[in-house]
């Protein structure tokens, strides 16, 4: 059994795997037998690369594997090929890594890569430190990190009977150490231990937070110590994540101790209601210092007919469960949603889903608050269609007590345009991401988020059909998918169309008999296709200003030559065609300059919006969009703030990954998801605060854009003062200026 240093029981695999009966398929994963079973690649290392055992730094048996690069563009690895596995079986892998002075100009780093068929030709799964760090820290500064545990999501072996395993340092300089490398079948026993470990980590966080707050209360401290001891041997029941915290009965007992701490300050209170920032992450465990009971009216301001949000925290100061009954003014057009924490495999809550609450027969919205817990309720109020200030109420009761809050709706005589000025779309596709399973809900939600563009999945583009002489037959091209995808946006919208020339089977269609890109035959086929697409879009009311041709998603450095040639062919076919492309960390500054020169619209990833890159983009005079690969850990408030920057910097488009991906994102312990919506309600895609951040951010952008157009003087004055902190106050001034 591999020795694990320190008391880290919540990292489940490291401690529980052998007692769970799982067998490690990696041979010599702790290097107890030197480099036996491992192969170093390449066999002849670069002169400035080193791969060797290190007898001075280790987590287990006194040695680890060290890879050192003196240059930032090298690639070295260790590997085990032909590792036997069972077909159609779930597995999980893990390792420890330590890094010193890791640096990369291309988003490189250290990873574990598992491939099929006993080789490494493609990834079944890839994970580890590096790429994500450099996305968040795009400057090529060095990175040090101590021993850190990395674990894959659960993956299936498919038809394979063998896997290929490698750990590497790629496109990066510095030194990385690897140790305790494991690959195990995800048996029911291991699943039980792993899920228990992640649940314990969540609850351990609650205990630590309460312990810090209970320094002055020895009685509560003693109870928490007892709970901590019980936690080490506790096993969770299956939770219902849609119900929110507490997920477990034992967590309910732990959180109830918070009531004792709250009573120290609020001795007579049973329920405290406080106002919350709607898009900031909620906290279900409020401390006494943080609670400020709401003591004034709530004022919401906006344009005619638009929806504006506010949030209230309801904190139970008793150890018993309270039932609260919300009674809104019947004149209000309002949605009421429960803010629900979402846990991930990181063992922490990182997102807030907004689950619609439904009234009972009396029009009352009841909900429960466990002892010591804070529940957040998200209210979305639709403002009247005429200007003025209207008052209404929100009442609630619990037990024998009740409270009432006055809502003031300040509606300005301003209306948003039918189609917002910022081009926006999600990299989610109707068929590839299951949006067609609930098409009407997809249309409603995406249009409510002001989506006014659509980038087609390349296999949803109208596919070319040629005769035996390479002559395109436009009448045989199928436009059904593009017509259905268009429904997802505010009409008429804009289409971003991939040229499907990069991958089979469609690459072969364009190659024809010549089997060579940029041959005369290939050029002819591509040109015919572009002309047919242009004509088909024109028939649908989409002229040259309503569609873009995209060359290649997130290109690498070695693909720029090809893209320049393709752009030249497009312009030769029809100079009026407009070309779009994005880029991320894989491109150097010279490559960015070349790509920008070849296109009409350039879209950096958000973390690539750095002064050196922006200088190139602005000097080009090209239209600038951007995109954001944002996961559940990004607060909705941060997303909304970005749109202020986009308007002030003259960005004209925004896209994000993604509206919905295909991961199961409710159940704690599943892979981190990028979705901004959740399933679980047949009537709608359940929004998150990130989803609302996109919608409200687009509206903020639009207000600034409208002011710039109608009153440039006031716009310039506000522009110099605008920050995300003072935006709420300035927003009311903008609404007033637009109304005048």
Q: Which residues of the chain have pLDDT under 50?
A: 1-19, 134-136, 138-140
| Residue-level pLDDT at 7 | 40
Q: Indicate if 354 and 464 belong to the same structural domain.
A: no
Q: Indicate if 84 and 152 belong to the same structural domain.
A: yes
Q: Indicate if 404 and 436 belong to the same structural domain.
A: no
Are the C-beta atoms of residues 107 and 171 closer than 8 Å to each other? Answer: yes
Question: How does DSSP assign 60-127, residue by residue?
Answer: SSS-EEEEEESSTT-EEEEEEEEEE--TT-EEEEEEEEEEEEEE-SSS-EEEEEEEETTS-SS-SEEE
Question: How does DSSP assign 119-153, residue by residue?
Answer: S-SS-SEEE-SSHHHHHH--S---EEEEEEEEEPP
- Please identify which residue in the block is written with the tokens 């609450």: 357
Task: Sort 642 into a burial class: Cβ within 10 Å, 0-12 / 13-18 / 19+.
Answer: buried
Rounded Cα gap, residues 563 and 56, in angstroms = 48
| Residue-level pLDDT at 19 | 43
- Please identify which residue in the block is written with the tokens 């036997």: 84
632 within domain boundaries: yes
Q: Indicate if 172 and 285 belong to the same structural domain.
A: no
Provide the 8-state DSSP code for 73.
Answer: T
Domain that holds residue 135: 12-186
Q: Indicate if 374 and 472 belong to the same structural domain.
A: no
Rounded Cα gap, residues 169 and 204, in angstroms = 34
Task: Say how many C-beta atoms besides its own lie within 10 A of residue 634's C-beta.
Answer: 22
| Residue-level pLDDT at 107 | 67
Q: At what angle do helices 560-573 and 589-598 cross, to 10 degrees?
A: 10
User: Cα dist. 18→3, 15, 536, 546 in Å?
Assistant: 11, 8, 62, 60
Rounded Cα gap, residues 226 and 203, in angstroms = 13
Rounded Cα gap, residues 624 and 571, in angstroms = 20
Rounded Cα gap, residues 251 and 254, in angstroms = 5
Rounded Cα gap, residues 681 and 357, in angstroms = 11
User: Cα dist. 90→85, 93, 152, 189, 239 in Å?
Assistant: 10, 11, 12, 13, 22
Q: Indicate if 481 and 627 belong to the same structural domain.
A: yes
| Residue-level pLDDT at 177 | 97
683 within domain boundaries: yes
Rounded Cα gap, residues 304 and 556, in angstroms = 46
| Residue-level pLDDT at 374 | 97
User: Cα dist. 82→26, 161, 256, 541 in Å?
Assistant: 11, 9, 52, 55
Q: Indicate if 445 and 310 belong to the same structural domain.
A: no
Query: Hey, which residues does 377 pair with through a beta bridge?
Result: 312, 338
Phi-psi region of 516 (alpha: psi -120 to 50; beta: other; left: phi over 0): beta
Rounded Cα gap, residues 167 and 120, in angstroms = 11
Q: Indicate if 404 and 480 belong to the same structural domain.
A: no
Domain termination site, one of 412, 433, 452: 412
629 within domain boundaries: yes
417 within domain boundaries: no
Q: Euclidean distance between the first and final Cα of the chain, in Å?
A: 76
Q: Indicate if 492 and 387 belong to the same structural domain.
A: no
Are the C-beta atoms of residues 276 and 240 closer than 8 Å to each other? Answer: no
CATH of residue 379: 2.60.40.10
Q: How many residues does the structure list for the chain?
A: 740
DSSP H helix total and E strand total for the chain: 16, 31
Query: Hey, which residues does 259 pair with through a beta bridge?
Result: none
Determine which helix (DSSP H) or strand (DSSP E) holds 436, and give its type and residue range.
none
pTM of the complete model: 0.88
Provide the 8-state DSSP code for 5.
Answer: -
Tokens of 71: 């240059």
Best CA proximity match to 256, nearest among 346, 308, 319: 319
Residues 494-532 as b/e (b if ≥16 CB within 10 A, e otherwise) read: bbbbbbbbbeeebeebbbbebeebeeebbbbbbbbbbeb
Rounded Cα gap, residues 434 and 431, in angstroms = 5
Backbone φ, ψ for residue 640 (5° rounding): -60, -40
221 within domain boundaries: no
Best CA proximity match to 557, nearest among 535, 589, 520: 589
Q: Indicate if 396 and 474 belong to the same structural domain.
A: no
Rounded Cα gap, residues 444 and 440, in angstroms = 6
Domain termination site, one of 138, 166, 186: 186
Rounded Cα gap, residues 16 and 189, in angstroms = 9
Rounded Cα gap, residues 440 and 136, in angstroms = 36
Residue 529: which residues within 8 A CB-CB, separation 6 or more? 464, 472, 499, 510
Rounded-to-10 torsion of CA 412, 418, 420, 426: 130
497 within domain boundaries: yes
Strands (E), 171-228: 173-185
Number of structural domains the chain divides into: 3
Determine which helix (DSSP H) or strand (DSSP E) holds 214, and give its type and residue range.
none
Q: Indicate if 396 and 460 belong to the same structural domain.
A: no
Rounded Cα gap, residues 60 and 182, in angstroms = 13
CATH of residue 544: 3.20.20.80
CA-based max dimension of the chain: 87
CATH of residue 76: 2.60.120.260
Alpha helix (H) ranges present in 39-164? 131-136
Q: At what angle do helices 611-620 and 589-598 cross, to 10 degrees?
A: 20
| Residue-level pLDDT at 510 | 84
| Residue-level pLDDT at 13 | 41
User: Cα dist. 410→296, 383, 402, 404 in Å?
Assistant: 16, 8, 26, 19
Determine which helix (DSSP H) or strand (DSSP E) holds 724, and give its type and residue range.
none
| Residue-level pLDDT at 154 | 87
Q: Indicate if 490 and 624 belong to the same structural domain.
A: yes
220 within domain boundaries: no
Backbone φ, ψ for residue 162 (5° rounding): -140, 150
Domain termination site, one of 383, 412, 441: 412
User: Cα dist. 3→11, 61, 62, 167 in Å?
Assistant: 14, 8, 11, 21
- CA atoms within a 13 Å half-sphere pointing along the CA-CB vector of 126: 19
68 within domain boundaries: yes
Rounded Cα gap, residues 159 and 193, in angstroms = 27
């Amino acid at each position: 059994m591999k020795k694990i240093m320190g008391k880290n029981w919540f990292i489940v695999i490291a401690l529980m795997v052998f007692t769970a009966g799982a067998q490690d398929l990696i041979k010599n994963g702790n290097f107890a037998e030197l480099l036996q079973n491992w192969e170093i690649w390449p066999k002849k290392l670069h002169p400035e690369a080193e791969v060797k055992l290190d007898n001075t730094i280790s987590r287990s048996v006194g040695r680890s594997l060290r890879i050192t690069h003196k240059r930032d563009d090298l690639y070295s690895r260790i590997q085990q090929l032909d590792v036997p596995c069972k077909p159609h079986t779930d597995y999980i892998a893990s390792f420890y890594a330590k890094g010193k002075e890791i640096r990369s100009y291309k988003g490189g780093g250290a990873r574990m890569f598992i491939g099929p068929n006993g080789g490494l030709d493609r990834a079944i799964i890839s994970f580890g430190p590096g790429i994500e760090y450099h996305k968040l820290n795009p400057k090529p500064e060095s990175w040090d990190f101590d021993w850190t545990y990395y674990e894959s999501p659960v993956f299936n072996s498919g038809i394979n009977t063998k896997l290929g395993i490698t750990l590497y340092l790629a496109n990066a300089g510095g030194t990385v150490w690897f140790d305790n490398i494991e690959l195990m079948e995800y048996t029911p026993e291991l699943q039980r231990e792993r899920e228990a470990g992640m649940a314990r980590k969540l609850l351990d966080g609650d205990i630590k937070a309460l312990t810090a707050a209970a320094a002055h209360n020895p009685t509560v401290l003693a109870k928490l110590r007892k709970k901590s001891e019980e936690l080490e041997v506790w096993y969770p029941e299956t939770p219902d994540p849609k119900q929110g915290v507490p997920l477990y009965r034992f967590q309910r007992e732990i959180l109830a101790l918070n009531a004792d701490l709250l009573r120290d300050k609020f001795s007579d209170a049973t329920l405290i209601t406080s106002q919350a920032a709607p898009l900031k992450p909620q906290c279900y465990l409020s401390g006494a210092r943080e609670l400020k009971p709401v003591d004034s009216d709530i004022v919401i301001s906006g344009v005619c007919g638009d929806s504006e949000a506010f949030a209230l925290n309801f904190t139970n100061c008793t150890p018993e469960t309270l039932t609260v009954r919300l009674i809104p003014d019947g004149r209000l057009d309002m949605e009421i949603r429960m803010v629900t924490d979402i846990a991930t495999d990181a063992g922490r809550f990182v997102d807030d889903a907004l689950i619609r609450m439904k009234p009972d027969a009396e029009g009352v919205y009841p909900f429960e608050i466990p002892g010591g817990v804070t529940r957040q309720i998200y209210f979305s109020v639709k403002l009247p269609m005429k200007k003025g200030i209207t008052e209404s109420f929100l009442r609630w009761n619990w037990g024998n007590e009740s409270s009432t809050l006055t809502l003031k709706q300040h509606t300005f005589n301003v209306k948003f345009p039918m189609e917002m000025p910022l081009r926006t779309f999600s990299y989610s596709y109707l068929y590839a991401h299951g949006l067609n399973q609930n098409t009407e809900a997809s249309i409603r939600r995406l249009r409510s988020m002001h989506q006014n563009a659509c980038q087609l999945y390349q296999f949803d583009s109208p596919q070319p059909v040629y005769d035996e002489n390479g002559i395109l037959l436009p009448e045989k091209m199928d436009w059904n998918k593009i017509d259905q995808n268009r429904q997802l946006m505010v009409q008429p919208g804009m289409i971003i169309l991939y040229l499907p020339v990069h991958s089979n089977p469609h690459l072969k269609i364009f190659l024809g008999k010549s089997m060579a890109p940029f041959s005369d035959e290939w050029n002819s086929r591509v040109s015919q296709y572009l002309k047919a697409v242009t004509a088909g879009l024109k028939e649908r009311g989409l002229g040259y200003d309503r569609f873009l041709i995209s060359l290649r998603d997130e290109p690498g450095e070695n693909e720029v030559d090809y893209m320049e040639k393709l752009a030249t062919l497009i312009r030769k076919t029809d100079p009026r065609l407009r070309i779009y492309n994005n880029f991320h960390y894989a491109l150097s500054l010279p490559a960015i300059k070349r790509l920008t020169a070849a296109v009409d619209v350039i879209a950096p990833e958000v973390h690539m919006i750095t002064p050196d890159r922006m200088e190139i983009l602005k000097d080009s005079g090209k239209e600038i969009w951007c995109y954001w690969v944002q996961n559940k850990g990004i607060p909705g408030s941060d997303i909304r703030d970005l749109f202020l920057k986009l308007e002030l910097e003259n960005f004209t488009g925004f896209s994000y990954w993604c509206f919905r991906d295909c991961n199961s994102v409710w159940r704690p312990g599943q892979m981190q998801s990028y979705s901004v919506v959740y399933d679980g309600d047949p009537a709608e895609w359940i929004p998150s605060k990130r989803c609302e951040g996109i919608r409200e951010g687009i509206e903020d952008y639009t207000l600034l854009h409208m002011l710039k157009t109608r009153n440039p003087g006031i716009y310039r004055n506000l522009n110099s003062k605008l920050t995300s902190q003072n935006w709420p106050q300035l927003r009311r001034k903008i609404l007033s200026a637009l109304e005048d």
